[in-house]
Chain A
């Protein structure tokens, strides 16, 4: 069966541009997570959805970051007016149920802001 997929795999944006990153979770998975991984660091939590509800967005670094999952499946992470410090790998993970269960990760989107 298909795993978690993310697109695009690589994105180069000029400073100030808006970007949208897509995550397709494993079919039927209830929970979806976004993480940000800076170069040489471990991933850091951004936000969490259970079905279409965004239950935790405490990790979003600024109001330029916005995530949605309108139908409880595909999710989009949008970054407005990108800054150089937004350069990172953005990882998406899904889990079959809500709460503390094993997460399955996608390959990530590498965002470079020039």
Chain B
């Protein structure tokens, strides 16, 4: 059974720092991995999607990497801003035909001005 773990559960950094969020998964048989952002009381906003054949994806100050063989992904946020404060969720797309997402428990990030 696929399990997704995110470390740390919470993180507080001063504005301007570069930071790394970690995600690990137990079964390397995935179609893709996706990073989401969730603001309090809101739904999920997709940040980056990495196909299983890719090693990384970049969008602005965000860079996500994928090492499928070791079951790991990282989300790198450069020059963090207070507006980056949110919960970040990692999810793998199950290899079954349904394509259901299996999520980690999230990392709650606070960027202090």
For A74-92 the 0/1 string (1 means CB < 8 A from B) is 0000000000000000010
Q: In the complex the two chains form, what is the Cα distance from A48 to B101 in whole Å?
A: 11
For the side of the interface on A, what is the size category? 20 to 34
Contact partners of B4 in chain A: CB under 8 A: 42
Q: Given the known inter-chain contacts A48-B100, A56-B100, please indicate yes or no for A102 contacting B46, CB distance below 8 A.
A: yes
How many residues belonging to B are interface residues under a CB distance threshold of 8 Å? Answer: 29
B14-22, B36-44, B70-78: which lies at the A interface?
A: B36-44
B residues sitting closer than 8 Å to A (CB atoms) are: 4, 6, 31-32, 34, 36, 41-46, 49, 89, 91, 93-106
- For A42, the closest partner residue in chain B by CB is B103
Contact partners of A101 in chain B: CB under 8 A: 99
Q: In the complex the two chains form, what is the Cα distance from A91 to B44 in whole Å?
A: 9
